[in-house]
Amino acid sequence: MMSITEIEKMTPPERLRAMEALWDALCHEKTEPASPNWHEDVLSQRRSRIESGEAKFYSIEEAKRMLEE
């Protein structure tokens, strides 16, 4: 296993290649990792906000504009 110190010594292109290799390996796993318990809580809260009408939805253009402000 590679340490943080070893990763920090890598050049940005080396880090990107390593990250791509890791991502590729994860994509080819036979099973998906289990979601953390807090995911269900977050999804439940979001569902409640949608059902109560509190949730707001934005187009990608609106979101980009809000980020630029």
Q: Is pTM beyond 0.75 here? A: no
Torsion, Cα of 20, 25, 29, 33 (10° steps): -60
Q: For position 33, what pLDDT does the model report? A: 84
What length is written for the chain? 69
Torsion, Cα of 48, 40, 59, 57 (10° steps): 10
Q: For position 1, what pLDDT does the model report? A: 84
- pLDDT by 10s per residue, the chain, length 69: 889 999 999 999 999 999 999 999 999 998 988 999 999 999 999 999 999 999 999 999 999 999 998
